[in-house]
Structure 1
Amino acid sequence: MLSFFRVIAILEGISYLALFAITMPLKYLADLPMPNKYVGYAHGALFITYGILAIVLWMEQKWSIKKGIIILVASLLPFATFYVEKKYLSDTAVA
């Protein structure tokens, strides 16, 4: 399940960046709202999946409170899920 969470973390980060760096400007500057709608749906689903998996893995893996909170808060900040994946979830991450 941890490897699946790693994939979700990366996809959630990509969807966050796509939403705010690509589709929001298209919506407001080029009057093209449809890409924003679909990327927004995908980002929402990934965001919820990330949060649920983070909580489930927090309990399963017995992560510390600090680590669990960092991993949860990462979904709210651009680029943070990439950092979490590299620092806390990758095969080379310190336990």
Structure 2
Amino acid sequence: MLKTAVGRFRVISLLEGLSFLILLFIAMPIKYLGGWDTPVAIVGAAHGGLFVLYMLALLLATIQARWNLKRFIIGAIVSFVPFGTFWFDKQIRQDAA
């Protein structure tokens, strides 16, 4: 899976999507309901780094796999939607089959 740009993208997209969900549904409620800022700082930094890697990996996968502009734009947009990267990964797997 890690031998191709698409495989690396899929791994990074799953990690980025997971970090986004942890940030939204665990760290932020702890901050706003419990008054503890540290989890948001830690998870937010990790998510930010993974987001940058996601966008770079998306660009490399688009180039290597010769995805069209529409797929690239959809891949970029879904990174802002909870569970979006998981849906996009499913689309990639279905198209590869």
Q: TM-score, normalised by structure 1?
A: 0.90
Find the counterpart in structure 1 of residue 71 from structure 2: 67
Of all paired residues, the percent bearing the same amino acid is 39
Query: 1:25-71 CA distances to partner (integer Å, 9 max, x unpaired)?
Result: 10111011111111001100111100111112112211111111111
Gaps of 5+ in 2: none
Q: Does 1:25 align with 2:25?
A: no
Gaps of 5+ in 1: none
Q: Flag as ranges the 4+ runs of structure 1 deviating above 6 A.
A: none
Q: TM-score, normalised by structure 2?
A: 0.88
SS of the counterpart of 2:24?
helix
Q: 1:51 aligns with which of 45, 55, 64?
A: 55
CA RMSD of aligned residues (A): 1.1
Query: 1:55-88 CA distances to partner (integer Å, 9 max, x unpaired)?
Result: 1211221111111111111111111000011111
Q: Distance in 2 between matches of 1:76 and 1:13?
A: 9
Query: Residues 6 and 65 of structure 2 are in contact (CA less than 8 Å); yes or no, is this contact kept in structure 1?
Result: no
Between the two proteins, the alignment pairs up a number of residues equal to 92
